[in-house]
């Protein structure tokens, strides 16, 4: 009967849910241990000045390597880390480790490099953020003006006023702020007007389709125009082809980040790259 079927469906559904929940609980336990055992590392992806091809900075990107050697991507564990609030200790570790490393690069003759660090909404809105940042800058000796925090448009969903005042405090300290994945969230022109932002990162989907879809190209052009009008610089993420690069240079995009120049690299590789510089590579 329909009723029985319904019951069956329900059973399937609940088994499914139990499975998903069990996986999540397992991953949660792993994540807890990962924080205690420090199983995280940072990779760094160069950011390139579009006009000259010079490396002007790097984005720190977290990697979780489990004991068995397997890598869990941030796309999978960052949302869980946010849900469990483990992102707070993880995020502090990221900030400290990245600033400490970038300070070494500065001291080794690359003092022009800007360091970009991703912050989750929870981190950004947390009461301790400013204290944490000041503590990290003081302990590592890293220059505030070389640090750029990447936040997404979602930070303003809860409390726009608080987000804006937080951004202002960060700017007073000298830290730069970038909007990450611009165009994929709840972009609003009024936010752009009200946020004290330095840098706008055009989201990958626009960049990746701009060479094949004129509408994406128009959007990228408009985003660059608006950003420049508001005194912000623009970085394109996910640049993979020469064609995309040429278009972006043509449109006056300031900075480029993507596999065309380099994937995110472990510290030793990135250090080598600083000596050799980057040249576009074919992305397969």
Number of residues engaging ligand C2E in binding (CB under 6 A): 23
Q: How far is the CB of 143 from Mg ion (least distance, A)?
A: 20
> Residues 161, 189: contact at Cβ < 8 Å?
no
How far the first Cα of the chain sits from its last, in Å, is 54
Q: Does 153 participate in binding ligand C2E (rule CB under 6 A)?
A: no
Question: CB-wise, 150 or 254, nearer to Mg ion?
Answer: 150
Site string for ligand C2E, 27-56 (x = CB under 6 A): ------------------x-----------
Nearer to ligand C2E, 48 or 251 (CB): 48
Min dist. Cβ of residue 53 to ligand C2E (A): 16
**Among residues 46, 57, 258, 280, which is the contact residue for ligand C2E, using CB under 6 A?**
258
Distance CA 220, CA 214 (A): 10
Positions in 92-111 near ligand C2E (CB under 6 A): 94
Q: Judged by CB under 6 A, does residue 74 bind ligand C2E? A: yes
Spatial CA neighbour of 260 closest among 50, 114, 118: 50
- Pick from 166, 150, 149: which is nearest to 158 by CA? 166
Determine if residue 109 is left, alpha or beta; phi over 0 gives left, psi from -120 to 50 gives alpha, anything else beta.
left
Footprint of Mg ion (CB under 5 A): 118, 150, 180-181, 237
Ramachandran assignment for 77, one of left (phi > 0), alpha (psi -120 to 50 degrees), beta (any other): alpha
Minimum Å gap between C-beta 228 and ligand C2E is: 21
Both structure tokens of 259: 């596999």
Q: Which residues pair with 177 in a beta bridge?
A: 149
Q: Please give the residue ranges that form the binding site for ligand C2E (CB under 6 A).
A: 45, 61-62, 73-75, 78, 91, 94, 118-120, 150, 180-181, 237-240, 257-259, 264
């Amino acid at each position: 009967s329909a009723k029985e079927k319904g019951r069956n469906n329900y059973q399937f559904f609940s088994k499914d849910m139990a499975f998903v929940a069990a996986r999540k609980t397992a991953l949660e336990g792993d994540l807890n241990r990962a924080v205690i055992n420090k199983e995280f590392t940072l990779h760094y992806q160069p950011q390139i000045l579009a006009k000259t091809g010079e490396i002007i900075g790097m984005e720190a990107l977290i990697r979780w390597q489990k004991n068995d050697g397997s890598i869990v991507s941030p796309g999978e564990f960052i949302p869980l880390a946010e849900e469990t609030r483990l992102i707070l200790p993880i995020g502090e570790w990221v900030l400290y480790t990245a600033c400490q490393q970038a300070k070494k690069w500065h001291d080794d003759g690359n003092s022009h490099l800007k360091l970009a660090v991703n912050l989750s909404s929870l981190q950004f809105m947390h009461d301790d953020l400013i204290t944490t940042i000041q503590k990290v800058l003081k302990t590592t000796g890293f220059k505030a003006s070389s640090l750029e925090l990447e936040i997404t448009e979602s930070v303003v969903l809860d409390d726009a006023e608080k987000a804006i005042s937080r951004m202002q405090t960060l700017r007073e300290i000298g830290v730069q702020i970038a909007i990450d994945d611009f165009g994929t969230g709840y972009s609003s022109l009024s936010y752009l007007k009200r946020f004290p932002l330095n840098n706008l990162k055009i989201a990958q989907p626009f960049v990746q389709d701009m060479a094949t879809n004129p509408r994406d190209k128009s959007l990228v052009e408009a985003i660059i125009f608006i950003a420049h009008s508001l005194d912000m610089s623009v970085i394109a993420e996910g640049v993979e082809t020469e064609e995309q690069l040429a278009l972006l240079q043509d449109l006056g995009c300031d900075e480029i980040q993507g596999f065309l120049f380099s994937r995110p690299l472990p510290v030793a590789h990135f250090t080598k790259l600083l000596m050799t510089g980057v040249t576009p590579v074919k992305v397969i």
